Amino acid sequence: MINKDFFEALRDLESEKGIKQEVFISALEQALTAAYKKNSGAARNAQVKLIPEKNTIKIYSYRTVVDNVEDEEKEISLEDAHQIKHSYKIGDLVMQEESTKEFNRIAVQTAKQVITQKIKEIEKQSVYKDIAEKEGKLIVANVKRIDADNVYLEIGGTTLEGLLTKRDMLPNDHFKPGDKVKVYVRHIRDDFKGTVVQVSRTHANFVKLLLEMEVPELNNGEVSIIGIVREAGLRTKIAVSTTVPNLDPVGACIGNKGSRINPVINELNGEKIDIISYSDNPADYIVSALSPAEISEITVDTAAGVAKVLVPENKLSLAIGKGGHNVRLAAKLTGYKIDVKPVAVETTTHKSNDVVSTGSANIILDDDFFDDIDE
H/E stretch holding 121: helix 104-132
H helices of 135-289, in order, are 204-214, 216-219, 249-254, 261-267, 282-289
What's the Cα-to-Cα distance from 82 to each of 9, 77, 85, 86, 95, rounded to whole Å? 42, 9, 5, 4, 13
Closest CA to 169 of 178, 182, 159: 182
Establish whether domains 138-200 and 285-375 are of one fold: no
Closest CA to 215 of 273, 285, 168: 273
Judge: domain 203-278, CATH 3.30.450.20. no
pLDDT at residue number 26: 83
Omega prior to 52 cis, within 30 of 0: no
- With b meaning 16 or more CB within 10 Å and e meaning fewer, what string describes 149-176? eebebbbeebebbbbbeeebbbeebeee
Q: Which fold has domain 285-375?
A: GMP Synthetase; Chain A, domain 3 (3.30.300)
pLDDT at residue number 195: 78
At position 262, the amino acid (one-letter code) is N
Q: Contact at 8 Å (CB) between 126 and 19?
A: no
CATH of domain 138-200: 2.40.50.140
How is the chain split into domains, by residue range? 4-129, 138-200, 203-278, 285-375
- Tens of pLDDT along the chain (375 residues) come to 456 777 887 788 777 777 777 878 888 888 888 887 777 766 668 888 888 888 888 888 888 999 998 888 888 999 999 998 899 999 999 988 877 776 767 777 777 788 888 777 776 777 677 677 888 999 999 999 999 889 999 987 777 789 999 999 999 999 999 999 999 999 887 766 667 899 999 999 999 999 999 999 999 999 999 999 999 999 999 999 999 999 999 999 999 999 999 999 999 999 999 999 999 999 999 999 999 999 999 999 999 999 999 999 999 999 999 899 999 999 999 999 999 999 975 445 555 554 433 332 333 334 443 344 333
Q: Which fold has domain 4-129?
A: N Utilization Substance Protein A; Chain:P; domain 4 (3.30.1480)
> In 10 A of CB 340, how many CB atoms?
26
- With b meaning 16 or more CB within 10 Å and e meaning fewer, what string describes 128-142? beebeebeeebbebe
pLDDT at residue number 365: 38
pLDDT at residue number 44: 65
pLDDT at residue number 74: 86
Strand partners, 200: 184
pLDDT at residue number 6: 76
Mapped onto helix, strand or coil, the DSSP state of residue 181 is: strand
> In 10 A of CB 111, how many CB atoms?
22
> In 10 A of CB 269, how many CB atoms?
13
Q: pTM for this one?
A: 0.66
pLDDT at residue number 356: 36
pLDDT at residue number 352: 53
DSSP state of 103: G
